[in-house]
Chains A and B, each alone.
Chain A
Amino acid sequence: MAKNAVITHPESLKRPAGPSEYAKDPVNASLTKADKIALYTKMARVRHFEQRCIRTYQQGKIGGFLHLYVGQEAVAAGTISLLGKFDHIITGYRDHAHGLLVGMNMKECMAELTGKVTGCSKGKGGSMHYFAPDKNYWGGHGIVGGQAPLGTGLAYAVKYRGQKGSCLTYMGDGAINQGAVHEAYNLAALWDLPIIFVIENNGYSMGTSQERSTAHPGCLAKRAEGYNMAWDVVNGHDVYEVRAKTAIALKRAHEESKPTILEIFTYRYFGHSMSDPDKTYRDKEEVKGYRETKDPVFLFEKELLNEGVLTKELVESINAAAMEEADAAAAFADESPEPTVADITKHIYWEEDNRGPKTTSRGTIIFE
């Protein structure tokens, strides 16, 4: 544990969770009833999709790594809900929620996990490598921190093309200790790029608590000061607060073309991935505490029930529909075909996939 660490938590996290003090923030007050229901529905869909994945994994249909987002829904849902035509996103390997929230459908997402040709990456990427460039979603990256320079590049391209946009670049609390992240910070600030680095601080990088991975563990966003960059800390259990604070950063990106680091405090309920037995580094009580008092989906549900936007019946039907959708996605993945051996050597080079009269290269490009 680093000495003299001043924990800089968002104010709202210091109190027990109650009605959101950000409900009246203009960015939330302007939401229609339908908008709010849609936002809740999206969060519920993410949760049910992830929970359905557990079953598919346990059935042995998903191999490799499966990193779940359960507990963190408000982070991706809140931030992505604000994005417009020229706003882009990129993240690490805990990437399913971001995909669903930009509008990928559950079927292509589930089929990717089971390695089917109908998957979003045609069975070539897997859980950690979702992509939907048509929805401004640039992945899905397996190497910790590797997406930070890419996100910086996306922001650069937005600025270069004169668009009023941004790139939200998500990473974990462990990722901030990758060198590439620091280089990206510097470039973003030096060149005034319209980027928001979103640190999804769930307290752990695999089995390493944040205190054991990071000097000055009290506040990860504060490193922004070393780069003369704006920063803020956010309660990631409250989707209204996520929206309110992201909106400020987004405005900074759109109107001033300036970067921001947002550290959003959140929590993951399951192990780091499905292969983590989750027994050595945190106790069950801690997880239980978060589930019972800070659950982002439940808190938003309560909020909207209080506002009279949701009714018990509506909550039930939304969740039932999300479960059904997830089941249908699993069935779709089951029925979908595998890629073929010939598919292995497709999509390596643009040139190879687009051979035609204009192709000039004659050298061997794929070897035996």
Chain B
Amino acid sequence: MAVISYREALRAAMREELKRDENVVIMGEEVAQFNGAYKVTEGLLKEFGPKRVVDTPISEAGFIGLGIGASMLGIRPVMELMFWSFSYVAFDQVVNNAGNIRYMSGGLINCPIVIRGPANGGTNVGATHSHTPEAILASHPGIKVVCPATPYDAKGLMKAAIRDNDPVYVMENTILYNDKGEVPDEDYIVPIGVADIKREGTDLTIVAHGRAVITSLKAAEILEKEHGVSVEVVDLRSIRPLDEETILASVRKTHRALLVEENKPFCGVDAQIAYLIQARAFDELDAPIGRVSSIDAPQIYSKKLEDLQLPYPARVVEAALKILA
């Protein structure tokens, strides 16, 4: 096991897949010569050359669409969006084309494309650059969406995504890029659609994804130390497919659920999960389901305020105590 950063884990996954499969191509703005706006693809151009690692103009609709088209012929493009916020100018390609072609062709065609990049707030860049579209995109059948929270999951999910035969959208987080964690030296994948218990507990289940997992783990620590509460943290890892059984099993064990995400509340991922829990484990609940999400407004620029707009440990603790009261 080596301790590497989330960024390095993503890069290692791409490097290994570039080596394993000659159909894998990395494409995006500034990914090659500039080594990536966030340095995720650093060194890949040097190692694999310009046929495999390709800089594009600022034409998201064009190059994402091109990637989808190429994937129909068996290329495995791994497309970087400098920010997932920029997927909005390519929405027709991302949703209508990648998500529907297999269905509309009656299963004749598939699109093994990966689109990846950061999707997070918290970096003081204002509303246009802080979107978290995992719920919006996961609401479209035909698309898979994963949100790794740790270096281990980042590498394993990225490799699984590249080998997957459907469109997989990997939502990273710039704030996590420098986080370090243990990652196996040997080849492994994290299967898409399998949640992970990041911390075991008996009194309360927190369900989270992406950076909200890290926030929830911090909150769980405080809850145990200061309030003697044993919290289980379920990391979804994958939004669609959604590992319903792991969520339900945890709720059946703790009988209380708090859902934490960095999305805005309306139609967030957790709205679906709350429905799931009440539909399939209603009798198991000892308290109403709680939710913590970002304050419902476009992302504010002001750094201090943005930190308060997003879920932070104290807010999660407060919401947990309310459920436990």
Contact = CB atoms under 8 A, between A and B. Distances in A.
Interface in A49-85: 63-65
A296 interface: no
Interface in B102-161: 123-129
**Interface range on chain A (Cβ under 8 Å from partner):** 35 or more
B281 interface: no
B276 interface: no
B300 A344 contact: yes
Interface in A89-131: 112, 115-116, 121, 123-129
Contact of A129 (B58, B89, B301): B301
B85 interface: yes
B62 A208 contact: no
A145 interface: yes
Contacts of A339: 300, 302, 305
A116 B302 contact: yes
Contacts of B129: 65, 128, 142
A20 interface: no
Interface in B41-92: 55, 57-62, 85-86, 88-89
Given A339-B300, A344-B297, A208 B124 contact: no
A42 interface: no
Contact of A64 (B55, B88, B301): B301
A281 B30 CA distance: 11
B265 A64 contact: no
Contacts of A247: none
Contact of B302 (A115, A141, A174, A214): A115
B202 interface: no
B308 interface: yes
Interface stretch (B31-39, B236-244, B250-258): B31-39
Contacts of B184: none
A325 interface: no
Residue picked from A126, A129, A177, A280, most chain B C-beta under 10 Å: A126
Contact of A115 (B29, B301, B308, B309): B301
27 contacts: A64-B303, A115-B302, A115-B303, A116-B302, A124-B126, A124-B300, A126-B125, A126-B302, A128-B126, A129-B128, A142-B126, A142-B128, A143-B86, A143-B88, A143-B128, A178-B60, A205-B57, A208-B29, A212-B33, A212-B55, A280-B34, A280-B35, A338-B305, A341-B295, A344-B309, A367-B265, A367-B296
